[in-house]
Chain A
Amino acid sequence: MRHALLVCAKDLRQRLRDRTAILTAIGAPLALTALMGFALGGSSGSGSGMRLGIADLDHSALSFAFVAFVQRPSLGGKVKAEPIDSVEAAERLIREHHAECAVVMRAGFAKSIASGNPPPVEILAARGEQFAMLATRGLLRDFVNRAAVPHDRPAAELIPLSAGGQMRVVDFFAASMTVLFLNFGVLSGVRALQAEVDSRTIVRLVASPAEPYAIVAGKFAALLLLGLIQMGTMIAATSILFGTRWGNPLPTAALMFTSVLMAIGLTAFLMSIANNADQGTALAALVITLLSIVGGQFLPPQGLPDIFETLTRLTPNGQAFFGFIDLSAAGSHGNLLTVAQPLAFTATIGLSGIALAALRARSALQRIT
């Protein structure tokens, strides 16, 4: 135990002395959150909410219900709907900057949904309002999904709360940058571990009286602590600086824990299949970036074609990210069941990655001795 604590303390001292790593772990995500939030937020990202023109050319009960859907109380007044009567009116609204977005529901809207076909809908957006357009697409998709489910099942059980409808842009990026840079932060720790193998200080550690399990436990504890410190700092900082609400503390803490496990497992595995720390870092950075794109951490997948949302849920970082989004949206009602799937998914990926990396590290150690 004493040896494990010594190894852990030494690793923490090294990591906390690395200013670049701290900048990567805390400074960069905070700066990007602020930058992206304010740059892409527009009026939809501010406290005043998004102005949405709605042209109902279908005149059905369902198209009428869309207006009520976007103005439902749970959205907290984030969408200000303005009914209009034509495509021309929608265009004028956008052109004259009276709305960020406009939805035109053409005749046949309700019939198409009922028959399971894509409804005839157009979304118009002002220049520079990409995020508002994505949010509108997300709202529309949620509405269509809800309208398509059997009426005897409560819609809330089937449709996860999502970024498009209830979060501010800055909150979206607070969660996305926290998860994205968690991977990079943990990567710097894993890189140091690989560097210890490359420089063979690990040989001296193994030759010391410390038992191998104590060395492994110490190094793992240091990575875990660093990840938790990083996430905790990000959550505290975004709460204070941007007023981001992360949801119920208990499930949030649980998801933090499994997300750090996921980041350790993912980066450790990628590092273990590389020949050295530099190659491993390059490989891991590439994979993390690709996973972040697919995982919806740059753009919400609700605004993109369906395949993206499916892909998002297949990535470990996407699971973690949308777990935090769901918890934030659920507020005080969020619990462990709200994020049961992300918890299980990220923990499984993390533990599997750690196990595989440990196996490969063992053979690597034999090679260097």
Chain B
Amino acid sequence: MLSVRGLSKRFGERVAVDGVTFAIASAEIYGLLGPNGAGKTTSISMIAGILARDAGEITIDGISIDAGSSARAMIGIVPQSITLYLDLTARENLDFWGRMYDLRGAALRDAIDGALDAVGLTRRANDIVGTYSGGMQRRLNLACGILHQPKLVILDEPTVGVDPQSRSAIFDLVERLRDAGTAILYTTHYMEEAERLCARIGIIDSGRLIAEGTRAELVASLGQEARIEIGVGRGDSLERAEHIVSALEGVVSATVENSHLHVIADHGANRLPTMLSALLNAGTVTESVRVVEPNLEDVFLRMTGRALRD
């Protein structure tokens, strides 16, 4: 449904997006995972036809984004910020956006009712949006983007700042859209969201797509590495423990984070006895040990040397 090839954008000397290539099929949720400033929003701005690109090709259902309004009509965009008219009611907002996408008459009315029902705002439809909670505004923001039943929905960090209830409602809606055959591009810096929703994930950093695949494929790319969290006694120095563990064979990295020593080691579980005895020999008391299954955070950390939320 969506094909992006060699997408690039430069702002002055700064390269914001550098040769990004990926594709999304119908009924697929593709996650674009990366920290703030990685180039996610710039990428989707170009895909949505809002921002001119310097290089690359973008096609939606075989039609180039350069075709203009006919290509844009196939896209539903849900920007990161709340892009609603707060002085209008929910129904008036939906009515306006529906008409902008050339819906009229009974089709428009049905689409509005359907969208309101989908996001659970039917009873508040005639209230001024400025009186809504942040979560309700988020849900309406989403409804405005899917009202015209686009073939491709672009969701830019749709759950930023929402309550758990609204987040769950948004997840359900995104999954229903996927089940209805919609291709979904989902950008986030929340690893948990990408893991839960996305069939495939592209990891973007400094404007470049540095890895792509299913969650299992990405985690497998870490090889036999595992993450171990070690808690030490109150009187012991974490920095000293870090120094001891870093020197051991097979240890890829050791960092102090949240009062714990985080160790990534090749064949991690097998290295554990060596680590514990080294700490014990150095007089450091080990209070807790946890072997953590690798996740996308570890993939990102391994590939960039930085945490996803840095």
Contact = CB atoms under 8 A, between A and B. Distances in A.
A10 B45 CA distance: 24
Contact of B100 (A6, A13, A14, A369): A6
A345 B51 CA distance: 37
B144 A204 contact: yes
A186 B101 CA distance: 29
A333 interface: no
B5 interface: no
Give chain A's interface residue range (CB within 8 Å of chain B). Answer: 20 to 34
Nearest to A209: B69
A238 B66 CA distance: 53
B69 A200 contact: no
A369 B99 contact: no
A23 interface: no
Contacts of A332: none
Contacts of A211: 68-69
B87 A205 contact: no
A199 B92 CA distance: 18
B79 A203 contact: yes
A201 interface: yes
Interface in A210-247: 210-211
A279 interface: no
Given A17-B87, A199-B83, A200-B83, A207 B96 contact: no
A148 interface: no
A207 B88 contact: no
B83 A369 contact: no
A18 interface: yes
A199 B101 CA distance: 21
Interface in B66-100: 68-70, 72-73, 75, 77, 79, 81-88, 92, 96-97, 99-100
A215 to B, nearest CB: 10
Interface in B22-48: 41-42, 45, 48
Contact of A208 (B42, B51, B92, B97): B97
Nearest to A17: B87
A115 interface: no
B85 A207 contact: no
B50 A206 contact: yes
B84 A366 contact: no
Contacts of A10: 85, 88, 96
A206 B51 CA distance: 9
B192 interface: no
A80 interface: no
A369 B83 CA distance: 13
A218 to B, nearest CB: 10
B49 interface: yes
A199 B141 CA distance: 12
Contacts of B236: none
Interface in B142-162: 144-145
A3 interface: yes
B83 A201 contact: yes
B50 A14 contact: no
A204 B77 contact: yes
A210 B101 CA distance: 8
Given A14-B87, A207-B48, A369-B50, A6 B99 contact: yes
B127 to A, nearest CB: 14
B68 to A, nearest CB: 7
Contact of B101 (A18, A206, A208, A369): A208
A200 B144 CA distance: 14
B184 to A, nearest CB: 16
A205 B97 CA distance: 9
A207 B49 contact: yes
Nearest to B76: A207
Interface string B89-120: 00010001101111000000000000000000
B203 to A, nearest CB: 23
A163 B82 CA distance: 51
Given A207-B72, A207-B77, A6 B85 contact: no
A204 B143 CA distance: 13
Contacts of A3: 100
A199 B96 CA distance: 17
Q: Which 9 A-B pairs have the closest CB atoms?
A: A209-B69, A369-B45, A369-B51, A209-B73, A201-B83, A204-B83, A208-B100, A207-B48, A200-B81
16 contacts: A3-B100, A6-B96, A6-B100, A10-B96, A14-B87, A14-B88, A204-B77, A204-B145, A207-B50, A208-B72, A208-B97, A208-B101, A209-B73, A209-B101, A369-B50, A369-B51
Interface of B: 41-42, 45, 48-51, 68-70, 72-73, 75, 77, 79, 81-88, 92, 96-97, 99-102, 144-145
Given A207-B49, A208-B100, 19 more contacts: A3-B100, A6-B100, A14-B85, A199-B81, A199-B82, A200-B79, A201-B84, A204-B79, A204-B83, A204-B97, A207-B50, A207-B75, A208-B72, A208-B101, A209-B70, A209-B72, A209-B102, A210-B100, A369-B51
